[in-house]
Amino acid sequence: MNKIKHHLTDALLMGYAAGTLPEAFNLVVATHISMCDTCRAALAEFDAVGGEVMVDTDPVDMAEDALAQAMARIGTGAPLHKPQTKSVTGLFPAPLRDYVGGDLEHVTWRRVGGGVSQMVLPTASGASVRLLRIPAGTAVPDHGHRGLELTLVLQGAFVDETDRFAAGDIEVANEDLNHKPVAEAGMDCICLAATDAPLRFNGLVPRLAQRFIGI
């Protein structure tokens, strides 16, 4: 794998450590951490700081139904977001494999236009996450953002107005970014992308198709 150049922001790492991110973002963060030594080390530092804060915090009585609430959450069966290292075999790191139920061969792709395919992964409300396969040399329609979008490259690479993003890199896009990602030639680009608001497509056809592809 190429050296990872683009990393998570401190705000995302702190949100992950504190448990305040939506499930979809947690999955992308956990998957990136599994691939990135730099962000895994930074997360450990934030976890340590959080531990120190808890030590200095006055104790608070637990609610009478705290145990029942905890057991109810456990009973949902949602995968735990552990920053495990990437699987020795296969493309997907362990956190992503838990959601897909296996590796790339277990993905059920759905065509969304322009040769691009996706698989939406089930998560709680607040944000959505999907696997995207962009054929080599193919451009994603020009778009902006109404919220935050995290795009983690798992295979191949793409380029846009800001830089080149290869395997392990993550692009953090907000309302200020308008771009047209293009998958590099030679290999299909497979990404894990999470959004907390619909994209803002600039072309008429993508806008019309947006209601059907759910992004």
Q: What are the domain boundaries of the chain?
A: 10-98, 102-213
| Residues paired with residue 199 on neighbouring β-strands, in sequence order | 145
Q: What is the mean pLDDT of residues 32-44?
A: 95
pLDDT of residue 2: 54
pLDDT of residue 52: 45
| For the chain, percent of residues with pLDDT exceeding 70 | 81
pLDDT higher than threshold 60 for residue 128: yes
Report the CATH fold assignment for 102-213. Answer: Jelly Rolls (2.60.120)
pLDDT of residue 88: 52
Q: Where does residue 200 rank: exposed (0-12), middle (13-18), buried (19+ CB within 10 A)? A: middle
| For the chain, percent of residues with pLDDT exceeding 90 | 61
Lowest mean pLDDT among 25-39, 81-95, 131-145: 81-95
Give dist(CA 85, CA 54) in Å, integer.
Answer: 27
Residue 45 has which token pair?
């530092």
Residue 140 has which token pair?
């994603």
| Residues paired with residue 149 on neighbouring β-strands, in sequence order | 173, 195
pLDDT of residue 83: 54
Q: What is the mean pLDDT of residues 5-34?
A: 96
- Other CB atoms within 10 A of residue 41 CB: 10
pLDDT of residue 59: 72
CATH of domain 10-98: 1.10.10
Three-state secondary-structure class, residue 71? helix
Lowest mean pLDDT among 93-97, 148-152, 173-177: 173-177
Neighbouring residues of 107: CB distance < 8 A, sequence distance ≥ 6: 100, 119, 131
